[in-house]
Every structure is written in C-alpha cells, then in structure tokens.
Amino acid sequence: MVTTNNTVKLKLTPLARLYFSFSHELDVVSGYITDHRYERLLKMAQAAEARRDGLIKSMFALDAIALLLIFGKGITIPGLNISLSDFPAAREVITFLSASAFFFLASAFLNVSGYSALIDVINQRRTKGTILDPNFLTAADKFYEFTVKLYSPTLNSFAPDVLSPSKAFTWTCRAVFASLFLVIISLLLLHCSVAALSVVQTLKTGIGGPLSYALAAAIVLPNLGGLIISVSSFIKYEFTIIMAPALEQTQTIADQLGTK
C-alpha cells in the first residue's frame, strides 16, 4: 500500500525480500548479469546444494547413533566386546554434533533457497514477454525438484495454463503436499526428540556435576537457533520502500557501475 508520505509498505518473507530487491536492482542495472556471472552463480548454487546434502546425511547419521546410545545400552560392539554405554559422554558428544549439524543445515537450506531465488529472477527476465515458464530454464541449468512442480494445481505461475486441472487432481495435489509436510515435520520431531531425550538423561544422571547444565545448554542452543532460522524464514515481515530516495540511490549506484 502507498502511504501519504510517498512510501510503500510490503509484507515479505526474507526470501521474498531478496527476490524483490534483486529484481528491482536488475531493472536499474540492466545487462550487468553476463553469461560468465550467471555460470558462476550456478556453480555457487551447486556448491551450496552439496553442502546442504552433506549436512542432511551427517545429521541423520548422528541422530541414528544418538538413538543407539540412548536406547541401546545392552548393545555390544562385535569384535570389541564393549557396550555402547561404556563410552564416557558419548551420548552428549554425538547429540551436540547433531545439534550443530541441524543449526548449520537450517542456514544451508536458506543459502540454497537464496541462490535459487537469484537464478529464478534471471530466468524470469529471459522469458519475459513469452508464455514459457522460467522454471523450465532453471531445470536445464541446475537440479529442480519436479515433485513439487508436477503436483501443483497451477503448473505455470507466469502465464495461463493450457490444461485446467480437475477437482480430483487438485485434491491429489493437496494430499501430496500434506504428505510432504507431514514427513518433514516427522523428521524434525525425530531430531528434536533425540535432543530432548539426551538432555533429560544428561540432567538425570548428573554426569559431570554442574557441567551437566553446560552440556545440556550446548545441545539446546544450536537446536533452538536452527528452529528460529527455519520458522522465521516463512514469516512475513513489514518493509517500507521510500519511493524517491530509494530510486535516486539505486540510480546513483547504476551510474557508478557504468563508469567502471
């Protein structure tokens, strides 16, 4: 909405803010994104995806080991004849590493989403004035999750769809998205349950005396930080665009770039 003092107020998620800002800057500095820079952007996006995938594997592996340490006291390692419970503070160490992996994983997901947003803005401009969905161009440059695309009631978000879905397909799409949401929530609950069980046992056994509280805090805080990052990325916040000064400042930046 435009207010009386020549400002515009928008409610955007952090990723939508990035998308909006980058799109606006490209409107002013047209032609600045060359093919070389676009290729560099794709390589950085691939590196971000590899980092995210590695953190996912690490977190689930650590959660599995933590579960064995919590519930597998009677399990003996073959060949060594040593029980899992014989390792001192193993549960706390593994759970702490899992919590750290979760924190960095939340940040890694945002990094991947940020790179995807920048690439989407560029491809949206390449298909401007056509009916081509820019997501198809993105799929040619980087991995694209077509499960979400295929089960979307609206296939093309930038032009009218050729095929209108039936009610049965619309309900199928809702069921698929609900199942994906429930799976993600269940994995998140599993990780949080592992952390909670480890903290409870640490405080209950009192291993390390007063240091037990420090160990518990070292497990809780990274998980709390990861949850804050994850949840806050979906919340819409209010931003204000000061029309004239913002455009003048952006134009000044464009003129400076043009002289280099």
1 within some domain: no
Sign of torsion over alpha carbons 122, 127, 131, 135: negative
> How far is residue 2's CA from residue 241's CA, in Å, rounded to a whole number?
9
Q: Using CA atoms, how far apart are residues 188 and 227, in angstroms rounded to an integer? A: 9
pLDDT digits (tens, 9 = 90+) for 170-182: 999 999 999 999 9
Greater confidence, 189 or 157?
189
As a whole number, mean pLDDT of residues 207-215 equals: 76
pLDDT band of residue 71 (cuts 50, 70, 90) is confident
Reference 141, options 226, 30, 44, 74; nearest CA is: 44
Q: Residue 87, Cβ neighbours under 10 Å: how many? A: 13
CA dist 92 and 102 (Å) reads: 15
> With a threshold of 0.85, does the pTM exceed it?
no
Whether 2 maps to a domain, the answer reads no
Residue 153 covered by a domain: no
pLDDT, position 73: 65
Average pLDDT rounded to a whole number, residues 244-253: 50
Q: Give the relative orientation of helices 90-126 and 14-28 as an angle to the nearest 10 degrees.
A: 30
Three-class SS state of 209: coil
Q: Under a CB-based contact definition with an 8 Å cutoff, are residues 133 and 59 in contact?
A: no
pLDDT at 203: 84
Place of tokens 């995806």: 49
Six token digits for residue 22: 């980058």
**What pLDDT score does 112 carry?**
94
Give the pLDDT band of residue 74 (cuts 50, 70, 90): low
Contact 158, 177 (CB under 8 A): no
244 lies in some domain: yes
Which residue blocks in 29-166 are alpha helix, DSSP H? Answer: 35-71, 90-126, 134-141, 146-150
Identify the three-state secondary structure at position 81: coil
Query: Is position 104 within any domain?
Result: yes
> Does residue 174 lie in a domain region?
no
Domain range for 47 is 7-143+184-258
Find how far residue 197's CA is from the centre of its chain: 26
253 vs 156: which has the higher pLDDT: 156
Mean pLDDT of the region 197-218: 81
pLDDT for the residue 251: 47
How many domains does the chain contain in total? Answer: 1
pLDDT tens, residue by residue, 75-96:
666 666 666 666 667 788 899 9
Tokens of 207: 């291993």
- Report yes or no on 179 lying in a domain: no
Average pLDDT over residues 91-110: 93
Pairing status of strand 7-12 against strand 237-242 = antiparallel
- Residue 165 lies inside a defined structural domain of this protein: no
pLDDT digits (tens, 9 = 90+) for 4-48: 566 778 888 999 999 988 888 887 776 677 788 889 999 999 999
Round to whole Å and give the CA distance between 93 and 176.
37
